[in-house]
Structure 1
Amino acid sequence: MESERLQRVLGWADPRLLELLRYLGSQMFVDGTFRCVPRSFYQCVVLMVSDAASGVFVPSVYTLTTGKTHQLYQKLMRFMNDCTGSRLQPGSVVCDFEAALIDSVTDQFPHARVIGCLFHFKQVIRRRMMKLRIRPQEISIAMEVGVLDMLTVIVPAHVDPHGINYVSELIMSRCRTEEIEYSAVEWDRFWKYFRRTWINIFPVDVWNVYGMDLGVVSRTNNPLERFNRELNAAICDGVSIPKFG
């Protein structure tokens, strides 16, 4: 019970698909969707696994939850592990940048590499730039390949201050070259936000993939997000639990 309110986790899994989760070092994807859930629940969290033999991404476990707290996510991760007879030993887990979820995944699977979804990383950063009223032309420069996303592939220890200083100067230089007025005050606020959020709250190792074989490990939750969109389209709003299952 959390905050005097009973929290529930209700899950489904096909025993045949669970076998894919039992492979040592598998790559898993965890993501939540909201629109298709029965009225008494908050979200549906889907666990997908990459089948190395076929190259197919397979949704394997579906869970309904009544919240998204750290304690509830811990129960959820234990439930997913219990489904495989406590034989779930992933090599990596890709998930959204949600502190409670990341902490729970790390607690349950301490030997797995937790990877924050690159798409969401860039999406959140773009929104922050817009909120700080950085000009669209400057944002476009920062979001180009090889500019701000360079911080995700350099040696983690070099991200701050060397990497951040390099990217900041690169954006400034590009603005001068393209005769775009540089928003100095706004960028200063952005980098303070970046250090506070992406170094202090979320460890660099969560969004930096230096040293990983990107031909083997996916950096995004896109396969699972596509599946969730199809799931939402197939299930009516407010569906009953029996029909959902």
Structure 2
Amino acid sequence: MYFTTTNRNALVLNYKGFQYTLKREHKDNNEWRCRTRPCTTSLSLSHDSKSIIREPDVHTCIPHSSEEFIVDATVARMKKRAAQETLPIPQIYSQEIAKIRIDNPTLDTGSFFPLLDSIDASLYRRRAKNYPKLPTNVEDFVLPDGWKLGLHGEPFLLVDETYGKNRLLMFASDWSIRFLSSCSQWHSDGTFKCRPLLFEQVYILFGFNNFMIPCVYCLTTKKDENVYVKILQHLLTIASQKGVILNPTRITCDFELATINAFRAIFNAVHISGCFFHYAQSLWRKVQELGLTRLVNPSNARRSSKFSNEARKNAKDWFMAAIGLALIPPNLVEKTWIEAMDEKTPTHRSSVKFNDYMVSTYVDITSSRYPMELWNVNDALRKNLPRTNYHVEGYNGRLGSLFPVHPHLFRFIERLRDEHVYQYHLAEQSRLHTIININRPTDILQSTCQGVTGKGKRVACKHVPALYFALLDYDENKLYEAFTDRLQQWHQPTRKS
């Protein structure tokens, strides 16, 4: 004897090859009737559903097959898992099918088990019972009070602002605001894969104090300067209420002008630094756009006899010099790039367009789109501060593994509360185990040498220490030599031994 459920989640009693549904409740027992109509056979079951009080009479219907019982039991497990777990419904379905076939190796499940399309609605309905009804627009929904609190009942939703047809939700806690106030360096980034429906992004502010911790999570319906200004203004108000001061001296973000302008408007003395990897990546995208890939990338160039070895070497040096501009002292950037253009520019028709792009976008002190202090990371390099948003990108990947794609808003909040507590644990743990790194060539090797021509590939950078010492000596000859002769292998994938 065991119970399953119907598609509408009504209980079904399975007993001796037949199924029964509840007919009526009596004072001393419950009466269950055969599920197959017009059979009227019934039995009596105790109120605690543990014992049969009256056995059924002879049925006029045919007993259910073993396959039907397997289907009902499996679907019941799926519903239970849908209610208790956060795995996607299709994944639960495939796992349970696999379990049936493992338990019954000779069973032909494909011939009798219902398709996912025929039962997924009931699984989603069962999961939805765990959460309040999802709103259809961001303007009207109201978060119940219980969903505004953290796991210990502390305030977690610190800001809920509706402006026009837009909505801004900010999640943080007392410990994360205080941690952020202890950090002179902040990082920020937006992620989109795990954003709940109705929202445009999950925007996160990180604090760096020898280790990186996500402190504030924001759900936004816009990605413009206005919303970023609102986020920072709310942060200052929250900090003031808690009696702490937020005064970052350095902020690392991507090259989104809306973010940059917002930080400048609220923290006018802060040094804003773009991510070094995003800088290098933008150059590589430009190379691809201009059709220079086969010339610049050695792995592609080897497949073509169109270019001589000398042309390939010059192109490689030229491109590496462009990347290296972000690492040298700002006062040497223009001179170094002029020399690189004079001596190493390839003869390809699009090379001049790349040079013009570099000057108008990055190099020209008076008119470039991005000022030098934004993309040049020499100061961070010398102080052994993060030059990139690698930690942030890595954390976005972590969120992608924790959250389904575009989760239900209340599932998102539920998972976020757990994640925030875990980050508190990491913050406490890191304080005990952090070792302050000494500024060494190996630090540069580990933290700035990432390939931009391959997806996630590390690169062989055995000559980078020469660049490091050149930076310390400010020797212009060594600097240029480092760009042309020492950084040639930046975009060569590391070979596995």
Smaller-chain TM-score range? 0.7 to 0.9
Q: Which residue of 1 aligns with 2:378?
A: 210
In the alignment, the residues of structure 1 paired with residue 224 and residue 230 of structure 2 have an alpha-carbon distance, to the nearest angstrom, of: 10
What are structure 2's unaligned runs of at least 5 residues? Answer: 1-162, 299-315, 414-497
TM-fit CA distance, 1:71 = 1.4
1:135-165 Cα deviation digits (max 9, x unpaired):
43425515876x22231133424433x2221
In the alignment, the residues of structure 2 paired with residue 22 and residue 9 of structure 1 have an alpha-carbon distance, to the nearest angstrom, of: 22
Pick closer, same or farther for the CA change 1:32–1:183 going to 2, 3 Å.
Answer: farther
1:193-212 Cα deviation digits (max 9, x unpaired):
22222252111110113344
Determine if contact 1:138/1:171 at 8 Å carries over to the other structure. Answer: no
Pick closer, same or farther for the CA change 1:81–1:191 going to 2, 3 Å.
Answer: farther
Q: Which residue of 2 aligns with 1:175?
A: none
**Normalised by the size of structure 2, how large is the TM-score?**
0.43
Q: Which residue of 2 aligns with 1:178?
A: none
- Mapped pair 1:15 → 2:170: no
1:89-168 pair list within 5 angstroms: 89-139=247-297, 141-142=316-317, 147-160=321-334, 162-168=335-341
Q: Which residue of 2 aligns with 1:176?
A: none
1:47-94 Cα deviation digits (max 9, x unpaired):
111123xxx211110001111111122112222333322721112110
In the alignment, the residues of structure 2 paired with residue 105 and residue 238 of structure 1 have an alpha-carbon distance, to the nearest angstrom, of: 28
Amino acid at match of 1:59: P
Pick closer, same or farther for the CA change 1:128–1:111 going to 2, 3 Å.
Answer: same
In the alignment, the residues of structure 2 paired with residue 209 and residue 36 of structure 1 have an alpha-carbon distance, to the nearest angstrom, of: 30
Amino acid at match of 1:82: T
Determine if contact 1:7/1:72 at 8 Å carries over to the other structure. Answer: no
What are structure 1's unaligned runs of at least 5 residues? Answer: 173-181
Q: Which residue of 2 aligns with 1:196?
A: 360
Secondary structure of the corresponding residue to residue 84 of structure 1: helix
In the alignment, the residues of structure 2 paired with residue 130 and residue 117 of structure 1 have an alpha-carbon distance, to the nearest angstrom, of: 20
- Give the one of 75, 78, 97 matched to 2:230: 75
Q: Which residue of 1 aligns with 2:213?
A: 58
In the alignment, the residues of structure 2 paired with residue 97 and residue 9 of structure 1 have an alpha-carbon distance, to the nearest angstrom, of: 22
Q: Which has the larger radius of gyration?
A: 2
In the alignment, the residues of structure 2 paired with residue 163 and residue 34 of structure 1 have an alpha-carbon distance, to the nearest angstrom, of: 38
Amino acid at match of 2:166: Q
Tell me which moved more, 228-237 or 193-202: 193-202
TM-fit CA distance, 1:104 = 0.8
Pick closer, same or farther for the CA change 1:8–1:195 going to 2, 3 Å.
Answer: farther
Determine if contact 1:122/1:143 at 8 Å carries over to the other structure. Answer: no
- Give the one of 374, 388, 400 matched to 1:220: 388
Secondary structure of the corresponding residue to residue 350 of structure 2: helix
TM-fit CA distance, 1:21 = 1.3
**Normalised by the size of structure 1, how large is the TM-score?**
0.83
In the alignment, the residues of structure 2 paired with residue 144 and residue 163 of structure 1 have an alpha-carbon distance, to the nearest angstrom, of: 13
- Mapped pair 1:171 → 2:344: yes
Secondary structure of the corresponding residue to residue 201 of structure 1: coil
The number of equivalent residue pairs is 227
Pick closer, same or farther for the CA change 1:242–1:121 going to 2, 3 Å.
Answer: same
Determine if contact 1:33/1:45 at 8 Å carries over to the other structure. Answer: yes
- Mapped pair 1:39 → 2:197: yes
Secondary structure of the corresponding residue to residue 385 of structure 2: coil
In the alignment, the residues of structure 2 paired with residue 170 and residue 29 of structure 1 have an alpha-carbon distance, to the nearest angstrom, of: 37
Secondary structure of the corresponding residue to residue 44 of structure 1: strand
Secondary structure of the corresponding residue to residue 28 of structure 1: strand
Secondary structure of the corresponding residue to residue 219 of structure 1: coil
- Mapped pair 1:242 → 2:400: no
Between the aligned residues of both structures, percent identity stands at 26
Q: Which structure 1 residue ranges, 4+ long, deviate > 6 Å from structure 2? A: none
In the alignment, the residues of structure 1 paired with residue 236 and residue 384 of structure 2 have an alpha-carbon distance, to the nearest angstrom, of: 23
1:177-201 Cα deviation digits (max 9, x unpaired):
xxxxx34421110121222222521
Pick closer, same or farther for the CA change 1:142–1:118 going to 2, 3 Å.
Answer: farther
